[in-house]
Amino acid sequence: MRRQFFYAAFLLLLLFSNGAVFHSVAGLWEEPQKKASQLHSNYRKIVVLGGMASENSVNGLPRFSQSSDRLWQGLWLLKTGKADTLILSGGRGTLFDKQKPEGELLKNYLDDIDVLSDQIIIESVSRNTYENAVETAKIFNNTGMSKEIILVSSAFHIPRARACFENQGFTVDVFPADPLTGVRPLQWKDFIIPSAYVMDQWGVLFREWAGILMYKINGYI
């Protein structure tokens, strides 16, 4: 029995550390990458979701994560004229989080590097994806902007994010960022060499799937 358990654990280790296996599964889940030319030309409002930065307690600057690709892709769309307004949505992650809200943190950062403009609207109240959609809808309703948007978030997060925003009355086109599958072709080592990084990436997918389940249970999507 002990030997069978060992073999089973070893096989699971090989499975969940295999880059090719993860690439295949993540590729089936994630929103495919697209060119800017494929975006709906009449959608002029970009919504970029937070969850990309936390406050450095020493110097007060943002500490960016991999998901900050959302911000850079959104800014690129804005600055190249693919849209005329960018709404950056993100507040504190939890009710008792004492850090500065993410939206305010990024607003100060963009102002410091002379990127902030009247084309960028900051929403810093929301704490999760559902609240991103709710609080962003309030901004659109109060300003009378058309609720046709280009939604920018991580590729693995797009399915849940899009459902939340559609549930708030938005018509959504998407521009996925930082894909888990990467943008390079698979190499031989992805098929045969176990990777601790790949195991960590499975955790991202599992958390996202759990999040979707909870959102369905709560009626958010």
Per-residue pLDDT averaged across 23-51, rounded?
94
Identify the pLDDT of residue 157. 97
Identify the pLDDT of residue 93. 59
Contacts of 128 (CB under 8 A, 6+ apart): 93
Identify the pLDDT of residue 99. 75
Closest to 102 in 3D by CA, of 77, 139, 135, 144: 135
- DSSP state letters, 49-105: E--SEEE-TTT--EEE-GGGHHHHHHHHHHHTTS-SEEEEE---SSTT--SPPHHHH
Average pLDDT score over the chain: 91
Per-residue pLDDT tens for 53-110? 999 989 989 999 989 999 999 999 999 999 999 999 988 755 456 778 899 999 999 9
Identify the pLDDT of residue 3. 79
Structure tokens at 72: 């850079």
Q: Is 96 exposed, middle or buried (0-12, 13-18, 19+ CB in 10 A)?
A: exposed
* 93 touches 53 (CB < 8 A): no
Q: How far from 126 is each of 104, 130, 150, 205, 218, CA to CA, in Å?
A: 12, 8, 19, 22, 17
Distance (Å, whole) CA 97 – CA 86: 26
Per-residue pLDDT tens for 134-146? 999 999 999 999 9
Handedness of CA 139, 144, 147, 149 (dihedral sign): negative
| For residue 11, pLDDT beyond 90 | no
Q: Is 109 exposed, middle or buried (0-12, 13-18, 19+ CB in 10 A)?
A: middle
Q: What band does 119 get if pLDDT is binned at 50, 70 and 90?
A: very high
